[in-house]
Amino acid sequence: MKGFKPDRFVLLLISMIFLAYWMPGIEHIIPLNEISTYGIAGIFFFYGLKLSPEKMKEGLSNWRLHTLIQVATFLIFPLIIIALLPFVKGEEHLTLWLAVFFLATLPSTVSSSVVMVSIAKGNIPGAIFNASVSGLIGILITPLWMGLFL
């Protein structure tokens, strides 16, 4: 693999997963809640600084993209998992299915919406907008979906 250079973000993400596995009580030493709050705000802020106003307007006006992303997030993914429900046998498997269904009804995260799109050199304004909107829509839609099965 000549010329292969792993992405720094992906390496740091994998490192944090291993750190969390080997040091599960580290949140008492390092203020992870504050770091995540400021980190997410920093991601939005610095990616927003990189964008020109023209690109931001162009990205926000792409209503078909935003509709597709929100429909996929809050309708298609949950319906795919619901389609698997007839194949679930037993109480233990039902609990596992419910956990996967919960994941399918959650809004998209900042890392998948903004950081990964940036790494792929995709539509960053669209990702920023959809990450924000997805979080707001998820406040209402996720409990409604979960209320059907709990």
Backbone angles phi, psi at 123, to 5 degrees: -80, 90
What is the distance, to the nearest Å, from the Cα of residue 43 to the centroid of all Cα atoms in its chain? 13
CA gap 147, 138 in Å, rounded? 13
Structural domain of 46: 8-147
Pairwise pLDDT comparison (145 vs 132), residue with the higher score:
145
Let me know if residue 1 belongs to a domain.
no
Let me know if residue 77 belongs to a domain.
yes
Report how many domains make up the chain: 1
pLDDT tens digits, 58-115: 777 888 888 998 999 999 999 999 999 999 998 889 999 999 999 999 998 776 777 7
Any idea which residue has 């109480």 for tokens? 91
